[in-house]
Amino acid sequence: MNRDHEALLALFDREMREHARPDGPGVRVEHTGDVVRQVGTADDWNAVVWSAPDLDPARADAVIAAQVAHFAALGHGEFEWKLYAHDRPADLAHRLLAAGFEAEEPETLLVAPVADLSTAVELPDGVRLRTVSDAQDVELMARAHEQAFGSDWSRLRHQVLARLAEDPDGFVGVLAMVGDEPVSSARMELSPGTGFAGLWGGGTVEAWRGKGVYRALVAFRARIAAERGYRYLQVDASDMSSPILRRLGFVALSTTTPYVYRSH
């Protein structure tokens, strides 16, 4: 990794992890010893988002056990430890597994300067974009997501509805529509006081893949981020979206893997 990328990763770690903001209404960020965690209701995203760069093997197991005990005391059935490849100690992933966490699919942390990205929205014939403004639109987002990914959107529905109702300035939802049918949906989460806006979602139904819809959704959100003064866009990219984003100018800074603890 070159020096510019190292500096950008350090900025991301500081602004988006160590000094994380709550990602929605009704949740709080707690700084406790060697970790920073987000805590909400069982329907919110509960997670360890940062651990101290000097966390060593002598402390790590106790820190992990303390997080398990904390979320268990709250009565939460699960929580996530969002681990990055550069986190320490080097065997932290193995220690999480030994403590009962389960690893989910790794993603690539991609970042691009907003100024370097195209904001020209080019859509295939018959497709139009519109921003999400009410609960009916959220249902269209859910439909597009479930058709694109085949996964349940009920928890995200709760989170998106809360953001739309109580924190509309921190959230942008966008739909790609063909007639009355959603063919893709995506969102952008804005973190005031930081230089970063996060791109999430971006799932396109199979019949409309490979036609530029995903690129258009990125450009649409990049334009809004630029208008609002954000310097960088950040994505936790799957293997499917990563090649597209790299072609658009995003660079890989690390990988991130959700380690999920489920009480049985």
Structure tokens of 50? 């940062």
Task: Domain 113-255: give its CATH code.
Answer: 3.40.630.30
Fold entry, domain 3-107+256-262: Aminopeptidase (3.40.630)
Name the pTM for this structure: 0.94
Residue 24: CB partners within 8 Å, gap ≥ 6?
A: 40, 44, 45, 159, 162, 163, 166, 167, 170
- pLDDT at position 154 is 84
Q: Tell me how far apart the alpha carbons of residues 42 and 199 are, in angstroms, rounded to a whole number.
A: 24
Q: What is the pLDDT of residue 245?
A: 96
Helix (H) or strand (E) holding 82: strand 78-84
For the chain, 264 residues long, the average pLDDT of each consecutive 10-residue run is: 92 97 91 96 94 97 97 96 98 98 98 96 96 95 91 85 88 96 96 94 92 96 97 95 95 98 89
Q: What local confidence, expressed as pLDDT, does residue 1 receive?
A: 74
113-255 shares the fold of 3-107+256-262: yes
CB-based burial of residue 126 (10 Å sphere; 0-12 exposed, 13-18 middle, 19+ buried)?
A: exposed
Q: Which pair of structure tokens corresponds to residue 91?
A: 């065997």
pLDDT score of 256? 98
Torsion of CA 264, 147, 223, 10, to 10 degrees: 30
pLDDT at 205: 95
Q: What are phi and psi of 243, to 5 degrees?
A: -60, -35
Identity at 212, one-letter amino acid code: G
Domain positions in the chain are: 3-107+256-262, 113-255
What is residue 93's predicted lDDT score, i.e. its pLDDT? 98
Q: Give me the pLDDT at residue 90, please.
A: 97
Residue indicated by tokens 């991609």: 110
Residue 140 pLDDT: 95
| 3-class DSSP state of 230 | coil
